[in-house]
Amino acid sequence: MLTGESVPVSKTPLPHFDNTLPWKVCGMGDYRRHVLFCGTEVIQTRRAGPGPVRAVVLQTGFNTAKGDLVRSILYPKPLNFQLYQQAFKFIVGLAVIGILGMIYAICVYVIQKVGPRNTVAMALLLLTIPVPPVIPAALTTSIIYAQRRLTRKKIFCISPQRINICGQINLVCFDKTGTLTEDGLDLWGALPCQGQSFQSVHSFSGAPLPWGPLCRAMATCHSLLLLDGRLQGDPLDLKMFEGTNWEMEEHRPAEGTASLPESCLLVKPGPAASPAPVEGILILHQFPFSSSLLRMSVITQECGKSGFELSMKGAPETVASFCEERTVPAVFQAELKHFTAQGYRVIGLAHKKMELPQGVVFSDLEREELESGLTFLGLLVMENRLKSETRPVLQELSQARIRSVMGSEEGGSGGSRDDNGGSLLAAPTLVGRPSGAIHSPALENSSGGGGPASGVSGASGPGVASSDRLAIEQEQLREAQYSESVIRTVEASRRQSTTRIYNASWVAFADWCRAKGLCPAAASAPQVLDFLQEGHEKGLATSTLRRQVSSLSTVLGMCVNAPPLSQHPVLKQFLKGATNLKPSVVHRFPTWDLPTVLQALTEAPFEPLREVSLQLLTFKVIFLVAITSARRVLEINALSSRADLCTFLDNRVILRLDPSFMPKVNSPFHRALEIILLDFCPHPSGEREKWWHKLDVRRALHIYLKRTASFRRSEALFVSIDRPPGEPRSPRPP
């Protein structure tokens, strides 16, 4: 019986078993780790505390998880698809028509005194015309034929009735690990933290990880167990432990050691590990990982010492929320986003030393009290590579206009929904966020005066104009000791259009500051909010205010000790209040009739294409390309007439974006997308097909390229017919 687990799972006793609250509440989130389900095979036991082991039977028979599974197999729930319901209603309607026709025929033939043989024959004929008796056989034959075609493509269907439903699919949901990506994880590197700043990245492909708090946490903070002399457990924990080159063995403390459990795990440096000043470390107690808590912790003790240490790993933002603020680097969010945007899986680690009374029972300790005041140790970066067939499949679905969605719950390690190339599955970071944000005194202790706020960037360097946002940003990066090449790369992260918008917003803020006698580069949070409040009172939309905040964050949030300006709690509340006070207006635009427009394009003055003016021909071609490709204006403007980017085939034309164009989602996948435009009735035979052929986008585009070839001065697909002719046509309407 499948349980859904590919590796052994540790089960732990309920905390505070003498509590009067419901046992699921005491389970702290994932109560299933305290339950032995029917069909579970117990492969190893270890005493977790004093006293006998007690268990309570919760459910029996078909009420268990195994029984519910068996019941669902024996008595599956019927699936009523809307297609089947509508088809049944349609057949019933035809049957009613047939019965009425039969009754009418019988009545007429009886009145006309036709013989019984002819009357019965005509009645049955009228009954079988609406509902042919061979309909079930025809449907079954078509399904069998479709199933054989699928089998030839190595697609096996256990429910043939679902084949008809597949034609209506417009959304496909994928799991990530094991489906889009490989099953295993590989260690990419570790980013140690020391003195509220990240150190250089350690690559596991070279020398072993040096001894330190981070190495100790990686060697101890896991849920691995020894089974027949082999390590078993979560693949992520296994990879992390193997990266330290340490070893694990069972350990039984000597008699009279009251503070240690009867049996625990001992980890010690292996032959290939870096030198460590410890003989071994005992893993005394585990607080297991929970998908609701997004973290796990262990209590450890060095051999021969009396002190204890707690280590934690989990989603980076969750771990950071339990750490002392002074130990979390100010660039934590930026570093995390840097790795997750490239598709890496990121884990945060932290620890703290603590003193526990002699003979303490670890199972009686409060987890919330222990997991506080930690020291942030750094980030562990792992990569989960895409399968070779993932990219072609997603591209094929995209070309078929089928939306692809990845649904994945990245357990206790944080992560992203992006592939290693940072392109195919580009999406926001998917890490477990704690209930509370990570705050810094920066931008919070600022006063309303004109002086700079605590943690906010001071005045710009000498010779930098206060209204030049780009120059101030570059100067601040130089003061932070970033090289010129790094600064140029950072500045290239924004589009030119975004840079122009940010510059305009900063100029408006600088003018407002000068009118108030303030320094723009040293503005405090209350001063920024006063500026936004004036804009709100003048009628600016909330989206404009948010754009201004993004612009100001590029300068006022560049200080090492300052969090992003957009994360300031009062500012977030201000924007929410502005949205409530002035909700966005829903504009009701008059609808337009597409058939009327298409009808007009098939008549004069848009036909015949070889004789109409270039202006009308351009209008028609651009409209047909836009409505058949459903692409953005900037993407249509980036199409090229080069032979390798505009390919005409027998029944379609393939258009590709200019390689130098930067789409809104700048990734290899989006830059390599093809626009495939099929032809409409290339060889028309009737009036209807001739009408359709006049809307053939391939025909119109081919004629347009021929008529503009004589004066083209650009490789752009659409060129201007005005002065100067032949130049790239602007994407904006005149």
Task: Please tell me whether residue 266 adopts helix, strand or coil conformation.
Answer: strand
Task: State the number of CA atoms in the 13 A half-sphere of 211 facing the CB.
Answer: 13
CA angle 224, 230, 231 (to 5 degrees): 20
Q: What is the mean pLDDT of residues 434-450?
A: 32
Q: Are strands 171-174 and 403-406 parallel, antiparallel or unpaired?
A: parallel
Whether residue 530 lies in the annotated active site: no
Does 2 fall in a domain?
A: yes
Tracing tokens 């008699």 back to the chain, one arrives at 255
Provide the pLDDT for residue 549. Answer: 87
Cα–Cα nearest to 508, from 467, 562, 473, 480: 467
Q: What is the pLDDT of residue 435?
A: 35
pLDDT tens digits, residue range 40-55? 777 777 766 666 777 8
- Of the two residues 239 and 135, the one the predictor is more confident about is 239
Integer angstrom CA distances of residue 726 from 59, 701, 720, 721: 79, 16, 5, 6
Predicted confidence at residue 24, as pLDDT, reads: 60
The pLDDT of residue 425: 39
What's residue 725's pLDDT?
62
Task: Give the pLDDT of residue 221.
Answer: 92
Instruction: Answer yes or no: is pLDDT of 120 > 70.
Output: yes
227 with 368, same domain: the answer is yes
Q: 53 with 104, same domain?
A: no
pLDDT over 80 at 21, yes or no: no
8 Å CB contact between 263 and 380:
no
> What distances in angstroms separate CA 479 from CA 196, 332, 451, 560, one per listed residue?
18, 19, 20, 10
State yes or no: pLDDT of 360 exceeds 60.
Answer: yes
Lookup: tokens for 419? 């592939």
The average pLDDT across 679-698 equals 83
Quick: pLDDT tens for 633-675. 878 888 888 888 888 888 888 888 887 777 766 677 666 778 8
Q: What confidence tier does 25 reach under pLDDT thresholds 50, 70, 90?
A: low
What pLDDT digit, counting tens, does each position of 524-571 carry? 888 888 888 988 888 888 888 888 888 888 777 654 445 667 778 888
Provide the pLDDT for residue 376: 93
Range in 212-216, 407-411, 515-519 the model is least confident about:
407-411
In this prediction, residue 349 carries a pLDDT of 94
Higher pLDDT, residue 394 or 87: 394
230 and 325 part of one domain: yes
Residue 143 lies in a domain: yes
Domain termination residue (choose one: 360, 386, 412)? 386
Q: Domain count for the chain, please give it.
A: 5
By the 10 Å C-beta count (0-12 exposed, 13-18 middle, 19+ buried), 353 is classed as: exposed
Same domain for 339 and 287, yes or no, is yes
Q: What is the pLDDT of residue 479?
A: 72
Is 430's pLDDT higher than 60?
no
Quick check: is 659 in a domain?
Answer: yes
How much of the chain, in percent, has pLDDT values that exceed 90?
Answer: 6
Confidence tier at 412 by pLDDT (50, 70, 90): very low
If pLDDT is split at 50, 70 and 90, which confidence band does 19 have?
A: low
Longest pairwise C-alpha distance within the chain: 114
Q: What is the pLDDT of residues 456-466, one digit of tens each?
A: 333 333 333 44
What tokens does 581 get?
């006070």
Position 309 scores a pLDDT of 92
The pLDDT, as a whole number, for residue 380 is: 92
Residue % of the chain over a pLDDT of 70: 79
pLDDT at residue 416 in the model: 35
Lowest mean pLDDT among 60-64, 377-381, 618-622, 701-705: 60-64
Do 243 and 362 reside in the same domain of the chain? Answer: yes
pLDDT given at position 91: 82
The residue among 368, 386, 404 that closes a domain is 386
Assigned domain for 322 exists = yes
Q: What is the pLDDT of residue 29?
A: 53
The reported pLDDT for the residue numbered 650 is 82
If one compares 191 and 464, the residue with the highest pLDDT of the two is 191
Integer CA distances (angstroms), 3 to 38, 182, 223, 554, in order: 10, 21, 19, 50
**pLDDT at position 28:** 52
Task: Identify the pLDDT of residue 732.
Answer: 43
What does pLDDT average to over the chain?
77
Domain that residue 474 falls in? 469-581
Classify residue 414: in a domain, yes or no: no
Domain identity same for 287 and 377: yes
Structure tokens at 684: 């028309």
Cα 219 from Cα 237, distance rounded (Å)? 9
Average pLDDT over residues 477-497: 77
Same domain, 139 and 279: no
Please indicate, yes or no, whether residues 129 and 42 belong to a single structural domain of this protein.
Answer: no
Strands (E), 252-316: 264-269, 281-290, 295-302, 308-314
- pLDDT at residue 422 is higher than 50: no
Average pLDDT over residues 608-618: 86
Q: Is residue 714 part of a domain?
A: no
In a shared domain, residues 197 and 275: yes
- Shared-domain flag, residues 577 and 481: yes
Task: From the candidates 175, 183, 511, 722, give the one annotated as an active-site residue.
Answer: 175
Question: Amino acid identity, residue 301?
Answer: Q
CATH of the domain at 475: 1.10.150.130
The answer to whether residue 174 sits within a structural domain is: no
Same-domain pairing of 220 and 148: no
Say if residue 632's pLDDT is above 90: no
For residue range 241-300, list pLDDT tens digits in order: 988 989 988 877 666 555 566 668 889 998 888 888 888 999 888 888 877 788 899 999
Question: Do 247 and 337 fall within a single domain?
Answer: yes
In a domain, 531, yes or no: yes
Q: What CA–CA distances, in Å, run from 393 to 16, 146, 427? A: 50, 21, 18
Q: Which of 168, 198, 215 is the last residue of a domain?
A: 168
For 79-114, write each residue's pLDDT tens digit: 666 767 787 788 888 888 888 888 888 898 888 888
Residue 127: half-sphere exposure toward Cβ, Cα within 13 Å: 11
